Amino acid sequence: MKALQTLDVALGSSRSAAALVAIACLGTAGLVAFLPGSALYRAAVVVALGAHGVWTLRSWALRTTRNAIVRVEVGGDGQVVFRERSGRRCRGRLQAASYVGTSLTTIVVRLQGSRRSRATAILPDMLPPEDLRRLRVLLRVAGSASRSEVS
């Protein structure tokens, strides 16, 4: 069998992700606004939700923050490198919690020398169709290879 190559793809901004973030934040803020209790507390929670929504929009949907993942390198052996906008490289191993689907792909990586995992979600409009197809195939192959190593 042919050895698998490393795939390096650049992630772009996503209108779908921006819409999802906006709908989720506005819906949650609307629910909180109508909860019983002090208006001051509800207003503070709504403001906090708005701030979190703006941060999520910038870091995931638009990828403009310093720690936003802008490139992903995936090896056939399950090694993954996330590159942030600041230039920092986060190297680790693909985890079984990763998911590959038609409308959503999540990559969960256990960082080297860390107990924490880091994850990113990829929607179809973040990559060109051919790059997305190649990434999904490589993640499926690398994911099954890393699961067989564990057992």
Share of the chain above pLDDT 90, in %: 85
Question: Based on the domain organization, do 20 and 43 belong to the same domain?
Answer: yes
State the Cα–Cα distance between residues 123 and 129, nearest whole angstrom: 11
The pLDDT assigned to 3 comes to 57
Total tally of structural domains belonging to the chain: 2
Residue 76 has pLDDT above 90, yes or no: no
Determine the 3-state secondary structure of 107 from DSSP.
strand
- Are 50 and 74 within one domain? no
Task: Report pLDDT for 13.
Answer: 96
91-94 LR contacts (CB < 8 Å, sep 24+): 92/117, 92/118, 93/146, 94/139, 94/142, 94/143, 94/146
Q: Is residue 1 part of a domain?
A: no
pLDDT in the model for residue 1 = 46
- Tell me which residue range forms the domain holding 121: 7-12+68-150
Decide if pLDDT at 145 tops 90.
no
- Same domain? For 28 and 82 the reply is no
Q: Collapsing DSSP states into helix, strand and coil, what is residue 80?
A: strand
User: Do 83 and 106 share a structural domain?
Assistant: yes
Evaluate whether residue 106 is within a structural domain: yes
Both 57 and 74 in one domain: the answer is: no
Residues 57 and 75 in one domain: no
**33 domain residue, yes or no:** yes
Looking at the predicted structure, is the pLDDT value of residue 49 above 50? yes
Is there a single domain that holds both residue 47 and residue 82?
no
* pTM score: 0.85
Residue at 124 is within a domain: yes
For residue 118, what pLDDT is reported?
A: 94
Residues 54 and 75 in one domain: no
